[in-house]
Chain A
Amino acid sequence: MEEEVVLPDGTILVTRRRYEEERRLVEELQRRLSELQARWDEAVRGRVVVPPEEYERERAELSRVEAELRAAWSEWGRSAARLRWLYRRRDELRARREELLEQARRARAEGREEEAAALMEEHRRLGRELLRVGGYITDALFAVREAARRAAALRRESGRLRGELARKVVLTPELRALRAEIDSLQRRVEEESERLSRKVIGNKLVALHKRWVYESRPGGKRHDLSIEAVASMVVDTDVPTEECEEALKAFLEDEMTATPGFERLYDVGEDVVGFEEKLVHPDEYPLRGPQLHTLEWWHRVFAEPQLKITDFLPRRPGEKGPREMERGVKRHAD
């Protein structure tokens, strides 16, 4: 017997054993999927997975910004050092000018006019240099502030890029394979679950066909006539078929011997017994014991009025079938 039968409406009849196997398979697939998903979550940890090219591009951008930041800090350092030197130079010049003024005042008081004039000349020169240094300090202050501003902007940009990069994880071949396996498994679980949802545990119909062939003389002629008996039972698919075979054989034997006139069949013809089994829908075939269905002279059909070709043609909705149309019309007598 087939383990699985697809009905025209899409329902899939299966044996109980096959259904349990499929259910376990789906559970196993779902368990495996959960494991893989956990591995993926562990590897990703809420980060965004990006292809290696994108990751490398962003990392290169971060390196460039960090290099610029280092250059900006160096520039700031140089500007600050120059500013400090200028401040020192300004203080030195101021101190020297005060010293020269004092010396000149002393030289003038002592009558050394030439020396005093030379000292004052030097004092004035240093005054001019002091003015120049003041201008340099203004420029240096601007340069320091500019370098600091630029460095701060680059530091913010670097921090942003570093944060973004930290939220990303590169799609390595291992991760790519893991993702592909998860996707494939996901699809399979969905397909299997969908198939499982269409599956119905069927019952097993076991039928015994018994045929006799004998000769009769209707109308004074000899004919080969065939008689067929069919007994069947519906059992759970787990029930061994051999048990049903024995039960059906015993049942049919009892039925035959209890039927008047059939005892003569044992004296004629060939005794052929065939077993057939099939999966059936449990709603149509609830579980039941042996039952006799057919006891028929199959040749009798030729004594009936024959069917017309219209019997096989499709009908329009609501149209009466040929049998219904012919209802009431007297048929030929047998």
Chain B
Amino acid sequence: MAELRPVNVLKLDFEQENPQKSMSVPRMAWVAKFCRLTVQDVKAYRTRKGIHVVIRVREALHPLIAVLIQSLMGSDYAREAYNAVRVLNLMSSPDKYDEVAHDCWNVLYYKKLVGGEVASEERFDPELTEELRRALIEEAEEGGRP
């Protein structure tokens, strides 16, 4: 497992109650345009306190670039810090980690337990998905550079 696998999925986590971690659709759209990403699909999920967004792009991204773009898009900085360290670990000693570690560094829990209790569980949000689809796919196809 010497090489890191490129990724074509961005996973973002937002906490709407925390202004430093809240979601901004225009910000995500701007970053996607700036980074010349071709968004093919986007899905949004609601959690107890926040939002999970999964974006599938046409480009194959280096994992560290994916973390960078996720951070630029405003994903939870603590999560992205963990992701960055995971990727740096994989890069500095790739052979030390098996395939699951190489595949699961971009963690986005569908269910989270704190102290054994369910703290959060994600649910698909069709309205928000549609809003993101408009901003990241349809308007990007119509518009030019940011």
B residues 21-78 in Cβ contact with A at 8 Å: 40-41, 43, 54, 56, 60, 62, 64-65
CA distance A312 to B56 in the complex (A): 21
Q: Which residues of A lie under 8 Å from residue B109 when comparing CB positions?
A: 209, 274-276
Our pick among B97, B112, B113 for the contact of A294 (Cβ within 8 Å) is B97
A301, B112: Cβ atoms closer than 8 Å: no
Q: Which residues of B lie under 8 Å from residue A300 when comparing CB positions?
A: 89
CA distance A280 to B100 in the complex (A): 10
Q: Which residues of B lie under 8 Å from residue A58 when comparing CB positions?
A: none
Interface residues on A, range: 35 or more
CA distance A275 to B54 in the complex (A): 16
Q: How many A-B residue pairs have CB under 8 A?
A: 86
Q: Which residues of A lie under 8 Å from residue B97 when comparing CB positions?
A: 293-294
A307, B110: Cβ atoms closer than 8 Å: no
| Chain B residue with Cβ nearest A296 | B89
B62, A274: Cβ atoms closer than 8 Å: no
Our pick among B2, B62, B64, B82 for the contact of A226 (Cβ within 8 Å) is B82
Instruction: Tell me how far the C-beta of A198 lies from the nearest C-beta in chain B, rounded to whole angstroms.
Output: 15
Q: Which residues of A lie under 8 Å from residue B56 when comparing CB positions?
A: 6
Q: Which residues of B lie under 8 Å from residue A164 when comparing CB positions?
A: none
A residues 252-274 in Cβ contact with B at 8 Å: 270-274
B107, A293: Cβ atoms closer than 8 Å: no
CA distance A160 to B96 in the complex (A): 85
Output the residue of B56, B60, B113 with the most chain A CB within 10 A. B113
Q: A205-B103, A232-B104, A270-B114 are in contact. Are A312 and B64 (CB under 8 A)?
A: yes
A207, B62: Cβ atoms closer than 8 Å: no
Interface residues on B, range: 35 or more
CA distance A304 to B89 in the complex (A): 9
CA distance A323 to B116 in the complex (A): 43
Q: Which residues of B lie under 8 Å from residue A275 when comparing CB positions?
A: 109-112
Q: Which residues of A lie under 8 Å from residue B114 when comparing CB positions?
A: 270-273
Contact flags A302-318 to B (C-beta < 8 A → 1, else 0): 00110100011000000
Q: A8-B6, A274-B112, A275-B109 are in contact. Are A280 and B103 (CB under 8 A)?
A: yes
A205, B92: Cβ atoms closer than 8 Å: no
Q: Which residues of B lie under 8 Å from residue A245 when comparing CB positions?
A: 111
Instruction: Tell me how far the C-beta of B104 lies from the nearest C-beta in chain A, rounded to whole angstroms.
Output: 5
Contact flags A156-197 to B (C-beta < 8 A → 1, else 0): 000000000000000000000000000000000000000000
- Check B91 for interface membership: any CB of A closer than 8 A: yes
CA distance A293 to B108 in the complex (A): 18
- Check A96 for interface membership: any CB of B closer than 8 A: no
Q: Which residues of B lie under 8 Å from residue A304 when comparing CB positions?
A: 92-93
Instruction: Tell me how far the C-beta of B80 lies from the nearest C-beta in chain A, rounded to whole angstroms.
Output: 13
Q: A1-B110, A276-B107, A298-B86 are in contact. Are A307 and B100 (CB under 8 A)?
A: no
Output the residue of A230, A291, A307 with the most chain B CB within 10 A. A230
CA distance A47 to B93 in the complex (A): 72
CA distance A172 to B49 in the complex (A): 60
- Check A145 for interface membership: any CB of B closer than 8 A: no
Our pick among A6, A291, A307 for the contact of B92 (Cβ within 8 Å) is A307
Instruction: Tell me how far the C-beta of B32 lies from the nearest C-beta in chain A, rounded to whole angstroms.
Output: 18
CA distance A226 to B54 in the complex (A): 26
Binding site for B on A (CB under 8 A): 1-2, 6, 8, 205, 207, 209, 226, 228, 230, 232, 245, 270-278, 280, 284-285, 291, 293-294, 296, 298-301, 304-305, 307, 311-312, 323
Nearest 8 pairs of A and B residues by beta carbon: A274-B109, A273-B113, A301-B88, A304-B92, A275-B111, A298-B85, A293-B100, A274-B112
Q: Could you show 28 A-B contacts with beta carbons less than 8 Å apart?
A: A1-B110, A2-B43, A2-B54, A8-B6, A8-B8, A205-B103, A207-B100, A230-B101, A230-B104, A232-B100, A232-B104, A271-B114, A271-B115, A272-B112, A273-B114, A274-B109, A274-B111, A274-B113, A275-B111, A276-B107, A278-B104, A285-B99, A291-B100, A293-B97, A293-B101, A299-B85, A307-B91, A312-B64
Apart from the given pairs A209-B109, A305-B92, 18 other A-B contacts in the complex at a CB distance below 8 Å: A6-B40, A6-B56, A8-B60, A205-B104, A271-B116, A272-B114, A273-B113, A276-B107, A276-B109, A276-B110, A294-B97, A294-B100, A298-B85, A298-B86, A300-B89, A301-B88, A301-B92, A323-B2
